[in-house]
Amino acid sequence: DQQVKQNSPSLSVQEGRISILNCDYTNSMFDYFLWYKKYPAEGPTFLISISSIKDKNEDGRFTVFLNKSAKHLSLHIVPSQPGDSAVYFCAASGGTDKLIFGTGTRLQVFP
């Protein structure tokens, strides 16, 4: 049973516009959420995180929003750049300190 779900396998966005990547979770014990970015032939790299005591966290062009009642988080990238083209994984943790990853969304930013 997938506890962290990324229902959109891919997303295509024009350069300069907003990219919105979505993630849903089922386990109400999760209280810490992260986004990782992965380029081909490389390992994932940490992008941004949010604790359940917050509903928003910003870091430059990247903002993560958390809606606890809906068990939903989203990553906004504004403005999108071609270098943002990658696979994005959301991950969640709570209780056991182990990360549970979603299946990933492939973002393509075109000129």
Partner 1 sequence: NAGVTQTPKFQVLKTGQSMTLQCAQDMNHNSMYWYRQDPGMGLRLIYYSASEGTTDKGEVPNGYNVSRLNKREFSLRLESAAPSQTSVYFCASSEGWGIQETQYFGPGTRLLVL
3-state secondary structure of 108: strand
Q: Which span (14-22, 58-66, 68-76, 99-107) binds partner 1, by CB under 8 A?
A: 99-107
Q: Which of 104, 109, 76, 80 is nearest to 16 (CA)?
A: 80
Report the nearest approach of partner 1 to the CB of residue 45 (Å): 7
Pairing of strands 62-67, 72-77: antiparallel
Q: Is 97 in the site for partner 1 (CB under 8 A)?
A: yes
Cβ distance 40 to 107 under 8 Å? no
8 binds partner 1 per the rule CB under 8 A: no
Chain residues in the site for partner 1 (CB under 8 A): 2, 4, 31-32, 36, 41-46, 49, 51, 89, 91, 93-94, 97-99, 101-104
